[in-house]
A = this chain, B = another copy of it.
């Protein structure tokens, strides 16, 4: 009896239904696909921990990436997700490719890590701000407001779902680019 329980003619090709030891298609390059999703996705779903109830809380954010690929957010402390992050920085970002047909047929990446605000006087802020605004020019309208700050994700791991029958667990090293110190 197979791990799929012998329950059909399409083992392993259904959404979210990929046994850990299933063979992946030969043209599936998880690291390359994950790096592309990380660097090209401009809007993501942020999951934080609700500071009142502990529920995972999903919200929409715009996202950019730092030089090494680490996700950068520009968020207001007046927003619910920011209040959640101030209580517990653990988070994930879902970066999904969109397209026609069944959404589950398209690749998406869950990046897990911890988000922390970057101190306003940090030497890293000008670079991060420039990168964020290059990717989100309209954010210039509010980037200077005192309730907004850049938050950077320290990536811990990631889970790639490349569409039906394609999945991989990845490390931070798989995703990020080594940059000069």
* Chain A residues close to B by CB (< 8 Å): 4-5, 7-8, 10, 14-19, 43, 45-50, 53-62, 75-76, 78-82, 90-94, 96, 98, 102-104, 108, 110, 112-113, 138, 141-142, 144-148, 156, 159, 161
Contact = CB atoms under 8 A, between A and B. Distances in A.
A95 to B, nearest CB: 9
Contact of A50 (B18, B78, B112): B112
B58 A19 contact: no
A17 B91 contact: no
A17 B79 contact: yes
A56 B92 contact: yes
B50 A147 contact: no
B92 A55 contact: yes
Given A7-B147, A14-B145, A141-B10, A47 B43 contact: no
A97 B110 CA distance: 21
Contact of A94 (B45, B92, B110): B45
Contacts of A98: 98
